[in-house]
Amino acid sequence: MTRLKDIKLLTFPVVEDNRGNLAFIEGSTLPYTFKRVYYLYDVPSSSERGGHSHNEQHETLIALSGSFEVILNDGYEQKSYFLNKPNVGLHIVPGIWRELKNFSSGAICLVLSSGIFDEGDYIRDFMLFKKSKF
């Protein structure tokens, strides 16, 4: 059973010099191989994204620019993460409900997913999600 203890903040390697910083993700940087990359941008600060769980897919969320809040729920407890560093990613394992909100102006959320888009992998009803946990 997946629990919030399975969630990890990942810090990516950074090369720093006087020309600016370069962060990278390669090889074993993530605990899974990613097959899809997508990003959220121009999200109004009053809007919420997410509102679902995955059955199989792993995802890592990164605040490339700006900041946003990620609220996670495993069906038993809830925890909030504030993402605002482009070299830190939040690895979300399957079976965790996620909601994204409080986007700052200019925020960009990059998502690295272990699978291609598959509607059948989503649980979009929170009550159905909670029932699947008991």
Q: Which residues are known to be catalytic?
A: 52
Sign of CA dihedral 106, 23, 50, 117: positive
Using CA atoms, how far residue 59 sits from 18, 41, 46, 95, in Å, is 32, 17, 24, 11
Here the tokens at position 93 are 């394992």
Measured in degrees and rounded to the nearest 5, phi and psi for residue 126 equal: -60, -40
Residue 32 CA neighbour count, 13 Å, CB half: 17
- CA–CA gap between residue 44 and residue 23 (Å, rounded): 27
